[in-house]
Amino acid sequence: MARKKKGEEQITVSAPIAEQAITDTLEKNFMPYAMSVIISRAIPEIDGLKPAHRKLLYTMYKMGLLGGKLTKSANVVGQTMKLNPHGDASIYETMVRLTRGNESLLHPLIESQGNFGKQYSRDMAYAASRYTEVRLEPICEELFRDINKNTVEFTDSYDGEMREPVMLPSAFPNILVNPNQGIAVGMASNICSFNLREVCETAIAIMRKKSVTVDEILDIMPAPDFSLGAQIVYSRDEMKGIYETGRGSFKMRAVYEYDRRNNCIDITEIPYSTTCEAIISKIMELIKANKLKEITDARDETGLNGFKITIDLKRGTDPDKLMAKLYKLTPLEDSFSCNFNVLIKNRPYVMGIKEILNHWIEFRAECVKNGVRYDIDKKSARLHLLTGLKKILLDIDKAISIIRRTELESDVVPNLMEGFDIDKIQAEYVAEIKLRNLNREHILSRTSEIEQLIEDLEKLNGILADDREVKKIIASQLRDIIKKYGQERKTKLISNENIEDYVETREIDDYQCTVFFTRENYMKKISAVSLRSSTTEHRLKEDDEIIQTIETSNNNECLFFTNKSTVYKAKLYDIPDAKVSTMGEYMPGILGLEENEKIVYTVITNNYGGMMLFAFENGKMAKVELSGYETKSNRKKLVNAYSDKSPLASVIYMYSDMDIVALTDSGKALFVNTSKIPLKSTKSTQGVQVVTLRKKGSRLIKAVPAEESGLSDPKKYASRNIPAAGTALKDGDGQMSLI
């Protein structure tokens, strides 16, 4: 931004804004960030570690904390910042999750002393790093096995001052043994933990037989295993899908015991994906909502004896039925969503179990080969030196004589090379031998290693040339790891077939009531007791009137037919009780009717018995069974409830056939029994012609039960057959209340 003075004024000149295509911005700015998060932060590699984990563990290894004494966590955090400059708080948080005290991992990698919080608690905060102490667990020996033999590649640290491993040469499939979760940009990873023994045995089986099927893998490792135990609701088909694709979910349930003496339930294990606070909070919420009347209190009683949530019960409560209800309504039953996303050579792949293990075997085989190459180089160098020393054995006096007669120190090595036909490296080795060691015994003891070295080199070269030998080494190491660190499953399996799903049922007070429905779509549900004791008149909206009065009971279902050929359904007990002195509930608002949609008729039923009669202005009538509106699912709205080809004149609900009277706008009435109208199976049918409209433009305006017609003798208007035009209203009937 430039400023220019013009007299006393300052003029600000803004620099032009350069336009840039959004694709260029994404490519230059966003993509590098996204790739950095995916590759260098959030997604684990085949050794089962993210960069933050690896830097922390390697720092502790270099500090001598594998088998060493405990040291303050703050000390480790400070040293780790030489490799990981993201700040002490994030480093310590990473450490916390790897500790035994936190209980996040099935096989913790860090031995801890002090408060490191708990995986199962979101409120139990870990202590500051200056108060806690750590060192590496013995199992880390397997993570760092032969790392000093160049088994893995090393790279410079961020400032170029140190070297760090790109991956750790994990001697067991840590990628599957310990859980790992990460959220990157555009992708995520959520790998559950599996039992160490089962994973190692599966890897051995795959190396022994390449064509191992998923079913065979399931026989060896049937399901994940978690540090918090709990139970997996097991479905073999569901688990097979996860093993094949690396995606899917399964349900986990808490483990409980019933304390008969204290009449309470003790929750001793919970799903890995939830916390005790989330469980207790949900239980208390349901208690306040009056949905858990069986419980008086729920609290966290975790102590020195381990994890425990206690739920106090009311007398007479069935604990098993209550737990079925709690599994349904609270996080005591939770789902674990799997997403086995792993970085392979800096590229993310979502893989199944077999594919992950194949990649680990390939990675581990390369580590073993690198270690073998290192041993070959070391032994070859040793053999080379000893071969030169063996030549000295032929004439020790000659070697001493050459050294003694050489005037210049720089000529000693060249003279030895010439005198014994050895190279410079061998000559340097001989020249450095102490005078006291220039005896036959010492030289013979050294040269006796030659045969053993030749034998070892033949064996090592044989391993390097044969992948089967490499796999034998990996398998042998895995068997040793099983013996040292294998443990029984913590998470038990329960069959999906043995679980009874809880079906929520409401305790409904059933009582006699009367329902009043008005022309303006207000509804009053008044109990029989309230109606009998009322002395006031109905309060209605101005110009409103009651058009339906139905005596029924509270535990019934309501069907509301609207002018849009739609029926809405509701439980009568969901509609609040009203009093005569109130206007009642405005049903279009409760049911969510559309604009200009009005309720024209209401039916209340408990068994969907009886029939509906729809009379249309074109003189047709349709009779359908009410059971046609019954649904298995809890649907609230049904479209095409009746025909929309002609405007609706009237609706009548009847339990059996009855006499009705139809009236046209030309002043004619027709008496007919509905048994003459055939019953139709399709709700949206127009039915049959009942009233013949001879005059153009005339219409049927209403149809009512005969006893409600107001006619002195309705049968006078009967016709032998239908359709019929009806008969003109007689004197005295013309003023009837049909219109």
Pairing assessment for the beta strands 620-625 and 679-680 based on DSSP bridges: parallel
Contact indicator for 194, 177 with CB cutoff of 8 Å? yes
Rounded to whole angstroms, how far apart are CA atoms 355 and 191?
14
Rounded to whole angstroms, how far apart are CA atoms 231 and 225?
9
Contacts of 63 (CB under 8 A, 6+ apart): 71, 75, 76, 79
Q: How many angstroms from the chain centroid is the CA of residue 71?
A: 37
φ/ψ of residue 701, rounded to 5: -105, -20
Contact indicator for 108, 100 with CB cutoff of 8 Å? yes
From 33, 58, 92, 131, active-site residue: 131
C-alpha distance across the termini of the chain, in Å = 82
DSSP reduced 3-state for 671: strand
Rounded to whole angstroms, how far apart are CA atoms 92 and 336?
26
Rounded to whole angstroms, how far apart are CA atoms 691 and 662?
8
Residue 565: closest CA among 633, 612, 517: 612
DSSP reduced 3-state for 167: coil
Contacts of 513 (CB under 8 A, 6+ apart): 525, 526, 527, 528, 531, 551, 552, 553, 554, 572, 577
272 tagged catalytic: no
Rounded to whole angstroms, how far apart are CA atoms 105 and 180?
9
> What is the DSSP-derived secondary structure letter of residue 655?
S
Contact indicator for 356, 349 with CB cutoff of 8 Å? no
HEC sequence for 228-256: CCCEEEECHHHHHHHHHHCEEEEEEECEE
Residue 119: closest CA among 13, 270, 250: 270
Rounded to whole angstroms, how far apart are CA atoms 604 and 612?
12
Put the strands of the sheet holding 71-72 in their side by side order: 71-72, 133-136, 110-113
Rounded to whole angstroms, how far apart are CA atoms 219 and 583?
67
Q: What residues act catalytically?
A: 131
